[in-house]
């Protein structure tokens, strides 16, 4: 008898919980699953008057422009390399900042730093592009006028020198995103059991050893999760960063052209919905495959660290 | 514990109920509307006037659009038995919002702008208008010449109606009026590029502290020159000589383009050109007015240059293949009331009372009439501070002749002069050219070539890049991207077009 009541009670509790899950599920279905029906547009010649279902199929012809030319190869390589560099620099720097924040004892200062670090993340890329312009403008920029001139060095026409831009873009990206991820890492760091630190102190570990043997292992899972998710977006690029920040300067195209920029420039006049969909279809399918591969690799090395 | 449980249960129940209600409501709504009208409109009961939703471009704040709409509806209901709903969409979000608007039947009368008309047509967004144009009144038929109307035809089908703005452009140089006079020149003395060059060098010596020459806007040296991109403004594969040549070439092999780049590069090397040209943010006229620059090339209609600026025409008035159809009006192919929409469209081209309301707004509130027949914004008000600053934006409205022109445009006869300017304009041989990249089988090549062109076009025109080394490299990249296939396809289409005329 008591067994049964317990069971029904358990069932009742589960029903309640599942009921509460429904809004979230519906949100997911409407927002993330129903739009997937639109993936078919990537394989169609979209016509507004016929609508999505009646537009004629065109096979894979919407995809060819992404692979046909030398520029297409260039943009794929750019997208990949930039994202790899962004992932590595972003993670290393954010973890570094998170650890520094943790070592800081002054609570007030800690909060002020967090806010300051987060501000760039909240600024729109268009504004960032003007901030960068204020630094790099040839005639009026800060670097040419206030740094190079007093040092007696010749002014540099930044928007015409492709060789500087991989560094500039990496720097801008790092400045913009590190605050956000460092706060995620910091949240993990303060969640690490303080008993571990106490034990380390008793074992006479110095600060460096505490970081190396306690903090970093504690961060491992978060780093792996964020990195695997980052790999999933490795074929996407921040359009604002690569289009607005270089002021769409054509001379820089070889180092600033990513998949998104190429698609934008190539299709704004043609307004070809099929081809634009094909580009994001390609980006997400490759990203999905990479996430699976990365997760598989992680789970081979260490079952517990894998995402799923 | 018990309380917590009952609270969660109640909450869950409420949420579920709310959701079911929500779903039910959503699925019922579409059924309800046609049902109601189906039962209501039977018999001899007078039908409500159909409301036509008209989408227009707005540049300024349109806070009083509702007042204007009410005033227009009074006339429309009485004379035409329809109503208008004014939908103003700002230029900044035009592309996104009209794209959304055209996926449904919400908009009836559409402004086709910012994309080539052929793109709208190939996406199935325009209703053919031939039967309406054929049945239109004489006043409407007299507004445009057959050539002008054919600028909005694709495959012989009339998909849109042009509006009244300058189709053609003079290629001009804007000078700082006072400084040009100081150098001892009159604007009408400057006629050729050689004249311009001479003056620029003198100005560079006389005014060493300012930019001698700046781009027209941002990093665009001049929006129009003498080549015609045949159906697109990217200028991939062009004909030169104000559209009078008939051989299609890569822009980087075009004679006019090469000549200009050689000249501007010399200017750039000699310090005449703004050093920051490729990352410039301002417009040339602004910089001239602020005293930061001496001159800038531009394209212009017969409108007077802004205060403190004077202009000289270098290449006179010509109309490229896309200009006439660059901003047009038509009917959304998904519209539920195409007939009523045409009635409205025709009225907006022919009924002066309606046109004045739409363009100038309400007299007394939005404009005052001057004794010479021009209009002015009320004392202390400008286009940007007015609650209906549409008079300055006549060029984005259907038709303005007969409407009092705003006074700074140049006088009471401004719109007649504009029509004369259009009629005198040299039409490109590519007029009527349709660029349907899908049908031509060149879309992949086109996207690639646009990206190559973007790398070099502005840099070369501003003189920043050395044409001797850059042009051959740029052409090679274009060839790799498939420019030869595009040229061949465009040449074939052009030959057919010329053969037909």
**Domains, chain B, ordered by start:** 50-162+325-426 (3.40.190.10), 167-321+428-501 (3.40.190.10)
The tens digit of pLDDT for each residue in A131-161 reads 999 999 888 889 998 999 899 998 888 888 8
Nearest CA among B91, B49, B83, B50 for reference residue B66? B83
Per-residue pLDDT of chain B (501 residues; tens, 9 = 90+): 444 455 445 444 544 444 444 343 333 333 333 333 333 333 344 567 899 999 999 999 899 999 999 999 999 999 999 999 999 999 888 988 998 888 888 899 999 998 888 889 888 899 999 999 999 999 999 999 888 888 888 888 999 999 999 999 999 999 999 999 999 999 999 999 999 999 999 999 999 999 999 999 989 999 999 999 998 888 999 999 999 999 999 999 999 999 999 999 999 999 999 988 888 888 999 999 999 999 999 999 888 888 899 999 999 999 998 888 899 999 999 999 999 999 999 999 999 999 999 999 999 999 999 999 999 999 988 888 999 989 999 999 999 999 999 988 888 999 999 999 999 999 999 988 888 888 889 999 999 999 899 999 999 999 999 999 999 999 999 999 999 999 999 999 999 988 854
- Report if residue A17 sits inside a domain: no
Nearest-by-Cβ selection for B464 from A139, A160, A275? A160
Going by their DSSP bridges, the two strands B426-427 and B293-300 should be labelled as unpaired
Sorted by sequence, the CB contacts under 8 Å of residue B381 that are 6+ apart come out as none
Domain span holding position A174: 64-305
Cα separation, B454 vs B473, in Å, equals: 14
Cα separation, A85 vs B342, in Å, equals: 57
Mean pLDDT (whole number) for A273-297: 89
- Report if residue A52 sits inside a domain: no
Q: Provide the 8-state DSSP code for B126.
A: B
Contact B338, B368 (CB under 8 A): no
Contact B432, B498 (CB under 8 A): no
Cα separation, B417 vs B410, in Å, equals: 10
Asked if the Cβ–Cβ distance from A250 to B450 is below 8 Å, we say no
Asked if the Cβ–Cβ distance from A265 to B437 is below 8 Å, we say no
The tens digit of pLDDT for each residue in A119-133 reads 999 999 999 999 999
Contact A187, A274 (CB under 8 A): no
Domain count, chain A: 1
- Report if residue A130 sits inside a domain: yes
- Report if residue A188 sits inside a domain: yes
CB half-sphere exposure, A34, CA atoms < 13 A: 7
Sorted by sequence, the CB contacts under 8 Å of residue A229 that are 6+ apart come out as A291
Cα separation, B231 vs B225, in Å, equals: 15
- Show the tokens assigned to A260: 């998104």
CATH of the domain at A234: 1.10.3720.10
Nearest-by-Cβ selection for B119 from A20, A140, A270? A270
Task: Report phi then psi at B171, rounded to 5.
Answer: -90, 120
**Cα B91–B96–B100 angle (5° rounding)?**
125
> B412 to chain A nearest CA, in Å?
37
Contact B320, B340 (CB under 8 A): no
> A193 to chain B nearest CA, in Å?
30
> B287-293 long-range CB contacts below 8 Å, 24 or more apart?
B287/B211, B287/B214, B288/B174, B288/B175, B288/B176, B288/B214, B291/B176, B291/B210, B292/B210, B292/B211, B292/B214, B293/B176, B293/B210, B293/B211, B293/B212, B293/B213, B293/B214
Q: Nearest chain B Cα to A22, which residue? A: B16
User: Measured in Å, how far apart are chain A's first and last C-alpha atoms?
Assistant: 39
Contact B435, B231 (CB under 8 A): yes
What pTM was computed for the model? 0.82
**Which residue reads 């919002």 in tokens?**
B97
The strand ranges marked E within B108-191 are 109-113, 153-154, 157-158, 161-162, 169-176
User: What does the pLDDT read at residue B306?
Assistant: 87
User: Measured in Å, how far apart are chain B's first and last C-alpha atoms?
Assistant: 88
> Which chain A residues are Cβ-neighbours of B480 within 8 angstroms?
69-70
Contact B347, B354 (CB under 8 A): yes
Segment among A33-47, A176-190, B4-18, B199-213 with least mean pLDDT: B4-18
Q: Nearest chain A Cα to B332, which residue? A: A49
Asked if the Cβ–Cβ distance from B8 to A273 is below 8 Å, we say no
What mean pLDDT value characterizes chain A? Answer: 89
Of B278, B292, B449, which to mutate for an interface test with A (greatest number of A Cβ within 10 Å)? B278
The tens digit of pLDDT for each residue in A199-224 reads 998 998 888 898 999 999 999 989 99
> Which chain B residues are Cβ-neighbours of A262 within 8 angstroms?
447, 451
Beta bridge partners of B113: B327
SS (H, E, C) B209-256: CCEEEECCECCECCCCCCCECCCCCCCCCEECCCCCCCCCECHHHCHH
Asked if the Cβ–Cβ distance from A20 to B333 is below 8 Å, we say no
Q: Nearest chain A Cα to B276, which residue? A: A138
Q: Nearest chain B Cα to A137, which residue? A: B276
Asked if the Cβ–Cβ distance from A262 to B451 is below 8 Å, we say yes
pLDDT grade, residue A104 (50/70/90)?
confident
Contact B102, A46 (CB under 8 A): no
User: What does the pLDDT read at residue B32?
Assistant: 35
- Report if residue A55 sits inside a domain: no
Cα separation, A54 vs A62, in Å, equals: 17
Nearest-by-Cβ selection for B459 from A250, A262, A266? A250
> Which chain A residues are Cβ-neighbours of B275 within 8 angstroms?
138-139, 157
Cα separation, B62 vs B359, in Å, equals: 11
pLDDT grade, residue A301 (50/70/90)?
confident
> Which chain A residues are Cβ-neighbours of B103 within 8 angstroms?
48
Beta bridge partners of B89: B57
Of A48, A59, A164, which to mutate for an interface test with B (greatest number of B Cβ within 10 Å)? A48
Q: What is the Cα B97 distance to its own chain's centre?
A: 16
- Report if residue A47 sits inside a domain: no
- Report if residue A40 sits inside a domain: no
User: What does the pLDDT read at residue A6?
Assistant: 63
- The Cβ of residue B205 has, within 10 Å, a number of other Cβ atoms equal to 9
Burial (CB count <10 Å: 0-12, 13-18, 19+), residue A234: buried
Task: Report phi then psi at A175, rounded to 5.
Answer: -55, -40
Strand, helix or coil for residue B110: strand
Contact B404, B367 (CB under 8 A): yes
User: What does the pLDDT read at residue A3?
Assistant: 55
Asked if the Cβ–Cβ distance from A68 to B448 is below 8 Å, we say yes
| Residues belonging to chain B | 501
Nearest-by-Cβ selection for B448 from A22, A47, A71? A71
- How many CB pairs below 8 Å do chains A and B form together? 137
Nearest-by-Cβ selection for B16 from A19, A72, A159? A19
The tens digit of pLDDT for each residue in A83-95 reads 999 999 999 999 9
Nearest-by-Cβ selection for B125 from A13, A22, A48? A48
């Amino acid at each position: 008898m008591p067994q049964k009541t317990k069971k029904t009670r358990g069932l009742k509790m589960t029903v309640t919980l599942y009921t509460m899950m429904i809004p979230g599920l519906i949100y997911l279905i409407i927002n993330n699953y129903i739009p997937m029906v639109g993936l078919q547009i990537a394989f169609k010649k979209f016509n507004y008057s016929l609508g999505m279902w009646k537009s004629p199929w065109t096979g894979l012809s919407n995809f060819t422009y992404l692979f046909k030319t030398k520029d297409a190869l260039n943009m794929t390589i750019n997208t990949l390399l930039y994202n790899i560099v962004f992932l590595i620099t972003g993670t290393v720097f954010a973890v570094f900042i998170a650890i520094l924040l943790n070592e800081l004892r002054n609570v007030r200062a800690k909060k002020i730093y967090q806010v300051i670090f987060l501000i760039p993340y909240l600024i729109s890329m268009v504004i960032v592009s003007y901030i960068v312009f204020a630094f790099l403008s040839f005639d009026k920029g800060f670097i040419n006028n206030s740094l190079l001139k007093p040092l007696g060095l010749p002014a540099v026409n930044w928007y015409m020198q492709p060789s500087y831009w991989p560094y500039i873009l990496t720097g801008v990206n790092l400045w913009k995103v590190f605050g956000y991820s460092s706060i995620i890492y910091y949240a993990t760091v303060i969640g690490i059991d303080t008993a571990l630190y106490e034990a380390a102190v008793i074992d006479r570990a110095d600060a460096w050893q505490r970081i190396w043997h306690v903090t970093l292992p504690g961060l491992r899972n978060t780093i792996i999760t964020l990195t695997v998710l980052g790999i999933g977006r490795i074929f996407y690029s921040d359009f604002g960063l690569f289009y607005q920040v270089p002021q769409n300067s054509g001379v820089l195209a070889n180092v600033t052209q990513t998949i998104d920029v190429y698609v934008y420039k190539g299709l704004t006049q043609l307004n070809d919905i099929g081809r634009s969909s094909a580009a994001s279809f390609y980006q997400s399918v490759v990203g999905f495959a990479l996430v699976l591969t990365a997760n598989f690799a992680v789970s081979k090395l260490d079952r517990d660290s894998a995402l799923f | 514990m018990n309380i917590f449980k009952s609270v969660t249960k109640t909450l869950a129940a409420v949420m579920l109920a709310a959701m079911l209600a929500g779903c039910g409501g959503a699925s019922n709504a579409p059924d309800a509307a046609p049902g109601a009208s189906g039962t209501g409109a039977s018999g001899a009961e007078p039908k409500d006037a159909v409301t036509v939703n008209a989408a227009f471009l707005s540049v300024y704040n349109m806070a009083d659009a509702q007042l204007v709409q009410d005033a227009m509806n009074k006339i429309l209901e009485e004379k035409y038995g329809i109503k208008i709903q004014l939908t103003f969409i700002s230029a900044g979000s035009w592309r996104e919002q009209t794209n959304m608007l055209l996926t449904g039947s919400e908009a009836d009368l559409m402004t086709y702008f910012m994309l080539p008309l052929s793109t709208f047509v190939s996406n199935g967004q325009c209703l053919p208008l031939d039967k309406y144009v054929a049945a239109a009144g004489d006043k409407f038929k007299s507004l445009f010449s057959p050539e002008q109307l054919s600028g909005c035809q694709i495959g012989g089908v009339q998909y849109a109606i042009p509006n009244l703005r300058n189709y053609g452009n003079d290629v001009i140089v804007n000078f700082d009026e006072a400084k040009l006079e100081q150098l001892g020149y009159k604007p009408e003395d400057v006629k050729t590029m050689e004249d311009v060059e001479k003056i620029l060098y003198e100005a560079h010596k006389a005014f060493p502290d300012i930019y001698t020459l700046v781009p027209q806007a941002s990093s665009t040296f001049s929006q129009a020159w003498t080549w015609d991109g045949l159906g697109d403004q990217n200028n991939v594969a062009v004909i030169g000589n104000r559209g009078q040549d008939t051989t299609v070439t890569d822009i980087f092999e075009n004679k006019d383009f090469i000549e200009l780049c050689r000249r501007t590069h010399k200017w750039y090397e000699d310090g005449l050109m703004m050093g920051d040209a490729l990352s410039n943010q301002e417009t040339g006229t602004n910089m001239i007015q602020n005293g930061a620059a001496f001159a800038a090339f531009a394209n212009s209609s017969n409108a007077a240059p802004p205060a403190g600026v004077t202009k000289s025409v270098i290449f006179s008035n010509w109309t490229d293949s896309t200009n006439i159809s660059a901003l047009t009006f038509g009917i959304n192919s998904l519209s539920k009331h195409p007939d009523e929409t045409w009635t409205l469209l025709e009225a907006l081209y022919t009924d002066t009372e309606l046109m004045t309301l739409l363009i100038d707004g309400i007299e007394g509130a939005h404009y005052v009439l001057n004794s010479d027949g021009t209009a002015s914004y009320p004392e202390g008000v400008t286009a940007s501070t007015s609650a209906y600053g549409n008079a300055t934006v006549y060029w984005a409205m259907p038709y303005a002749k007969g409407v009092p022109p705003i006074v700074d445009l140049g006088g009471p006869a401004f719109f007649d002069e504009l029509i004369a300017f259009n009629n005198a304009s040299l039409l490109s041989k590519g007029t009527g050219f349709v660029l349907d990249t899908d049908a031509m089988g060149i879309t992949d090549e086109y996207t690639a070539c646009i990206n190559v062109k973007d790398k070099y076009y502005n840099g070369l025109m501003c003189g920043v890049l050395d044409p001797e080394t850059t042009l051959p490299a740029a052409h090679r990249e274009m060839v790799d991207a498939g420019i030869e296939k595009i040229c061949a396809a465009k040449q074939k289409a052009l030959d057919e077009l010329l053969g037909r005329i």
